[in-house]
Copies of this chain bind each other. A is one copy, B any other.
């Protein structure tokens, strides 16, 4: 039988001893210079050049972080921005990450109705067997504005494949309250979404006690993160907003249950572009940018441990 997504994720978190998630958000101008120059040397259209740079960069990031963290989160938008060449690069990046044993959460924020939602589900949600869906992801971020019925095709595919989804609940951007925090029938909209997500998750739990239906809850609103952790006890959380967006390890502590499980904490720019960040660029020469990435990953892992959980003790 296919292993449940939540159990696969919890196992990977335990093995690596950290819930740190590395976001793969490449931007061409921020790539290390040797990679940019090699990409340009390869010729072709601007899209092809950027895609080539993104691919080499992400493959090398994966080499650095795969021994350290349980999962990576490619941001599909940046690959899509390079047209078909970018999507081909993304495809290879996902395969490389999975071959290194990483859980891959495709951050695509997809969503549609009926058979179209089925199309997205079949496109992305490979789950335990990478070949079970074209893009080969373990999990996918989705948007539920269109209704709970639009989640069903994703949930069906997730349960069949040992894949997961993360439904946007409370996002980390400054304007996220505009709709998400509106009071509706005695609760906020994000609370209504959270209730629906908890219901969906609870219908098919893994042995670890979590469902395959997760939620995205930003680190930038810690009080709401605590509220949503309590409201969704069966729901694995994906927490963006740590690091560059301002969230701290104290802010994300509320995302975990008492067992130290229940959340992955994402950092993108803070890790992958460490070579140009204060505190790293002084210590690592430009050609040693991968050491800066490794140091930033280890620093994040250590920082998350300052709010220790039983998970840390088990893994140490």
Q: Spell out A's residues near B (CB within 8 Å).
A: 25, 27, 47, 75, 77-78, 80-84, 86-88, 91, 109-117, 119-120, 122-124, 134-135, 143-150, 168, 171-180, 182-185, 189, 192-193, 196
Complex contacts, A177 vs chain B, CB 8 Å: 147
Sample 10 A-B pairs with CB under 8 A, ordered by A number. A77-B110, A78-B116, A81-B120, A114-B173, A144-B179, A147-B175, A147-B178, A147-B179, A178-B196, A179-B189
Q: How far is the CA of A86 from the CA of B88 in the complex (A)?
A: 10
Q: How far is the CA of A175 from the CA of B183 in the complex (A)?
A: 20
Complex contacts, A150 vs chain B, CB 8 Å: 173, 175
Cβ B149 vs Cβ A81 within 8 A: no
Which of B25, B110, B184 touches A116 (beta carbons < 8 Å)?
Answer: B25
Complex contacts, A176 vs chain B, CB 8 Å: 113, 146-147
Complex contacts, A145 vs chain B, CB 8 Å: 143-145, 168, 179-180
Question: Given known contacts A147-B179, A175-B149, is B134 in contact with A86 (CB within 8 Å)?
Answer: yes
Q: How far is the CA of A119 from the CA of B183 in the complex (A)?
A: 31
Which of B84, B114, B146 touches A91 (beta carbons < 8 Å)?
Answer: B84
Q: How far is the CA of A116 from the CA of B25 in the complex (A)?
A: 9
Copy total for this chain: 2
Cβ A113 vs Cβ B146 within 8 A: no
Complex contacts, A83 vs chain B, CB 8 Å: 91, 123, 134-135
Cβ A168 vs Cβ B189 within 8 A: no
Instruction: Name, among A168, A173, A174, the residue most crowded by chain B CB atoms within 10 Å (CB to CB).
Output: A173
CB distance from A114 to the nearest CB of B (A): 6
Question: Given known contacts A81-B134, A147-B177, is B119 in contact with A171 (CB within 8 Å)?
Answer: no
Q: How far is the CA of A83 from the CA of B135 in the complex (A)?
A: 6
Q: How far is the CA of A189 from the CA of B192 in the complex (A)?
A: 12
Cβ B180 vs Cβ A134 within 8 A: no
Seed contacts A27-B115, A80-B123, A149-B178; 9 additional CB < 8 Å A-B pairs: A47-B134, A77-B120, A84-B134, A109-B111, A146-B171, A182-B184, A182-B189, A182-B192, A183-B185
Q: How far is the CA of A134 from the CA of B46 in the complex (A)?
A: 10
Q: How far is the CA of A191 from the CA of B107 in the complex (A)?
A: 28
CB distance from A66 to the nearest CB of B (A): 23
CB distance from A190 to the nearest CB of B (A): 10
